Amino acid sequence: MSGERILLIEDEARIAQFIERGLIYEGYRVSVARDGQSGLGVARDNPPDLVILDWMLPGLDGLEVCKRLRAASDVPILMLTAKDDIRDRVSGLDAGADDYLVKPFSVDELMARVRALFRRSTPNSRPEILRFSDLTLDTGTHRAYRGERAIDLTAKEYELLELFMRNPRQVLTRDVIFDRVWGYDFGGESNIIEVYVRYLRQKTEQENETRLIHTVRGVGYVLREEE
Ligand code: CA
């Protein structure tokens, strides 16, 4: 599930950088193109799993790029637009965009759209409800619950929790977690697993809820009930 390639076509450097950082932080691989023509070139030479496409681009505009991308493949396309005129939305969707986001948007909003598009484009994975203790994870909607309490997860938090829920009471080493959730090497000295385990604990251990994700010193982590 991890390491999907996203092609970002956006001419404004500041916005491109903001989006690129957010995507990389969530574990996606990102290519950035600054205009439509070079974006189409990247898409042709190295087909991405998803395209984020700005509407207002120099030269070929986003709408035209969208039509050409769509003529060549079924890749999910998320359009970014400063226009919120309903006619523009309709023409974007007519041109083959799967979704669009009106600027300005938050990084969380963008990630939610990206995740939703990936979910829609991989219908082959049949949804399951995973349960451990009073923790529930719906692999269809990516929603988690502790008892009745809904837990809002980012894409990486979800993947990490899913890995634990699929391997309850088994000690997962840092290497295994890296490999399964991030799919590539962070360079050895990264504390990213610790950071994400901390996020998951914050979200799964509110008020008097017991700890479920335990540290195994020097090895990794295990999902188990309190001893
Ligand atoms: Ca632009």
What pLDDT, in 10s, does the model give residues 23-35? 999 999 999 999 9
Per-residue burial over 106-136, b = 16 or more CB atoms within 10 Å of its CB, e = otherwise: eeeebbbbbbbbbbeeeeeeeeeebebbebb
Ligand 1 centroid to residue 92 C-alpha, Å: 15
Q: Quote the CA–CA distance of 65 and 71 in Å, as a whole number.
A: 10
Q: For ligand 1, an ion, list residues with CB under 5 A.
A: 11, 54, 56
Cα 191 to ligand 1 centre (Å): 35
CA terminus-to-terminus distance, the chain: 32
Alpha-carbon span 67 to 23, nearest angstrom: 24
Measured in Å, residue 118 CA sits from the centre of ligand 1 at 24
Query: Among all chains, which residue has been given the structure tokens 């001893």?
Result: 227
The pLDDT score that the predictor gives to residue 189 is 56
Distance (Å) of CA 35 to CA 38, 54, 55, 129: 6, 9, 10, 43
pTM above 0.75, yes or no: no
* Contact status, residue 71 vs residue 94, Cβ threshold 8 Å: no
The mean-pLDDT minimum among 5-19, 71-85, 92-106, 179-193 falls in 179-193
**pLDDT tens per residue, range 51-69:** 999 999 999 999 999 999 9
Whole-number Å distance, alpha carbon 130 to ligand 1 midpoint, is: 42
Q: What one-letter code names the amino acid at 55?
A: W
Helices (H), 35-85: 36-45, 62-72
pLDDT band at 188 (very low <50, low <70, confident <90, very high): low
CA of 28 to the centre of ligand 1 (A): 22
- CATH topology assigned to domain 129-223: Arc Repressor Mutant, subunit A (1.10.10)
**125: pLDDT strictly greater than 90:** no
What's residue 1's pLDDT?
43
Q: What is the distance in A from the centroid of ligand 1 to the CA of 115?
A: 23
Contacts of 201 (CB under 8 A, 6+ apart): 211, 213
Q: Collect contacts of 161-168 with beta carbons under 8 A, ≥24 apart.
A: 161/137, 161/200, 161/204, 162/130, 162/137, 164/132, 164/213, 164/221, 164/223, 165/130, 165/131, 165/132, 165/135, 165/137, 165/223, 166/130, 167/223, 168/132, 168/223, 168/224
pLDDT at 89 over 80: no
**What is the distance in A from the centroid of ligand 1 to the CA of 84?**
14
Question: Is the pLDDT score of 149 beyond 90?
Answer: yes
- Is pLDDT at 120 greater than 80 in this prediction? no
Domain regions of the chain by residue span: 5-121, 129-223
The answer to whether the CB of 147 falls within 8 A of the CB of 134 is yes
As a CATH number, domain 5-121 is 3.40.50.2300
